Amino acid sequence: MKFTFRDGIRSQLRPLPEVSTFAVDLTGKVVIVTGANIGLGYETAKHLASMKPAKLILACRNLETGNKAAADITRATGCSTVVCWQLDISDPKSVKAFVDKFELEGGGKLDILLENAGMNNFSWKRAVTGWEQTIATNHLGTAHLALRILPFLLKAEKPRLAIVASDVHYWVANPNEADTDGVLQKLNDQKQKGKFYAITNRYFVSKLLNVLYARALSSHLPPGTSLTVNAVNPGLCSSALLRDLNAVARIPMQVLSRTVARSTEVGSRVFVHAVVARELDGKTGEFLQSCKVDEPSDFVISERGASASKRLWTDTLAILSEFDDQIPATVNTYLK
Ligand SMILES: NC(=O)c1ccc[n+]([C@@H]2O[C@H](COP(=O)([O-])OP(=O)(O)OC[C@H]3O[C@@H](n4cnc5c(N)ncnc54)[C@H](OP(=O)(O)O)[C@@H]3O)[C@@H](O)[C@H]2O)c1
């Protein structure tokens, strides 16, 4: 569907349901929220903590702020099962160490994974792997964690994986570029020309990749599984996401932030809904926003979009297999 900037403003102004209207009892459930030390991840974790999970793991790159968040959530909700574990999602070694720790201490199965950690870079920076940092964090790291932890998700009863995307995926310039040979490599080439590849548009593209990857992973789930995989958009929310924005570009964003942006608590309701609401039971490969299933961009649902999703799947698996020799076996054993 087309989703104009005006549609975005209109949807921002519509109230979202309170979490109490779709909350569930998470007794016995194991939950992970990435990037939960601040912002939307923190507010989501706080809501989930009030549903009494057996274990709630805040996966944060900064242990100091993560531990403080865990203590604050415990104080606010009375939930004593909140812990913070270190995870830098842009670093494959950190992803592997996180999942190894989960294997030892996680409790054997994973009921909910909210892949929320994300960033918005406006200049060229590279992660430890040499990949451009936004792609390394928002796409490659997110894809890696999802695959590496998949065996534990598949052991749970009605598990859910939600990948945080955005409405900006509707506004990617020249999205057909996503359906061209070596698109990830081209995104990693600073000399590549064209709007799709500009670093200033990189965040939008990374969020399109989140939508395409969630659909691809969902389409490869084994027959009969109850695991669902969806992409979810919180809408525009006032957070620290634009911390790297330059002063000129910051002005219009500040205006939007003060007029139509949701608070992170309100935006987090969309994430909580995505991972617990019973009305989403069995829904997979969907795009969720405003606490409901919605249609993603015309590109995503087009033939080129389907082809881009397949291409992204193959290219991503090839890259992740270079970082992590367990990826091919995981894919062969657990996915179709
Ligand atoms: N705010 C919006 O309007 C909006 C709209 C649509 C989608 N989203 C998405 O919502 C998610 C949360 O964003 P937010 O608005 O809450 O922003 P935020 O306040 O900046 O929070 C981002 C979180 O991601 C973490 N993170 C970044 N890079 C990481 C890495 N390499 N490893 C582990 N954690 C990392 C951050 O950790 P540090 O504190 O250590 O940096 C922080 O906890 C993002 O995926 C974003 O793209 C936001």
Pick the atom of ligand 1 nearest to 36's CA: 43
Query: Per-residue pLDDT tens for 247-305?
Result: 877 888 888 888 999 999 999 999 999 999 999 999 999 999 999 999 999 999 999 99
Least confident of 95-99, 121-125, 230-234: 121-125
Residue 76: domain span: 5-324
Q: Is 310 a catalytic residue?
A: no
Edge-to-edge order in the sheet of strand 82-86:
82-86, 55-60, 30-34, 112-115, 160-164, 228-233, 287-289, 292-294
Question: Is 336 inside any structural domain?
Answer: no
Q: Are 288 and 269 in contact (CB under 8 A)?
A: no
Question: Is 63 inside any structural domain?
Answer: yes
Using CB distances shorter than 6 Å, the residues near ligand 1 are 34-35, 37-41, 61-62, 65, 87-90, 116-119, 137, 164, 166, 233-234, 236-237, 239-241, 264
Tokens for 332? 């062969």
Burial of 56 (0-12, 13-18, 19+ CB in 10 A): buried
Give the dihedral sign, CA 148/151/113/14: positive
Question: Is 273 inside any structural domain?
Answer: yes
Query: Per-residue pLDDT tens for 147-172?
Result: 999 999 999 999 999 999 999 999 99
Report the residue among 12, 168, 202, 239 best suited for mutation to probe ligand 1: largest number of ligand atoms under 8 A from its CB: 239
At residue 59, the pLDDT reads 99
Question: Is 330 inside any structural domain?
Answer: no
Query: Per-residue pLDDT tens for 37-86?
Result: 999 999 999 999 999 999 999 999 999 999 999 999 999 999 999 999 99
Mean per-residue pLDDT for 9-24?
Answer: 96
Q: How confident is the model at residue 315 (pLDDT cuts 50, 70, 90)?
A: very high
Q: Is 203 a catalytic residue?
A: yes
Question: Is 221 inside any structural domain?
Answer: yes
Q: What is the whole-number distance in angstroms between the Cα of residue 39 and the centre of ligand 1? A: 7
Burial of 151 (0-12, 13-18, 19+ CB in 10 A): middle
CA-nearest residue, atom 21 of ligand 1: 39
Distance, in Å, from the CA atom of 16 to the CA atom of 252, rounded to the nearest integer, reads: 24
For residue 227, the surrounding DSSP H or E stretch is none
Question: Is 183 inside any structural domain?
Answer: yes
Q: How many CB atoms lie within 10 A of CB 44?
A: 30
Alpha helices, H only, 122-243 = 133-134, 142-148, 150-153, 183-187, 202-219
Compute the residue count for the chain.
336
Catalytic: which of 93, 207, 310, 334? 207
CATH number at 218 reads 3.40.50.720
Give percent of the chain with pLDDT exceeding 90.
93
Distance (Å) of CA 17 to CA 182, 183, 230, 233, 235? 42, 39, 20, 15, 14
Question: Is 178 inside any structural domain?
Answer: yes
Question: Is 334 inside any structural domain?
Answer: no
Name the one residue in this structure whose structure tokens are 């992590």: 324
Instruction: Provide the domain count of the chain.
Output: 1
Distance, in Å, from the CA atom of 263 to the CA atom of 251, rounded to the nearest integer, reads: 18
Report the residue among 16, 40, 275, 289 best suited for mutation to probe ligand 1: largest number of ligand atoms under 8 A from its CB: 40
At residue 282, the pLDDT reads 97
Catalytic: which of 42, 170, 197, 203? 203
At residue 122, the pLDDT reads 86
At residue 248, the pLDDT reads 79
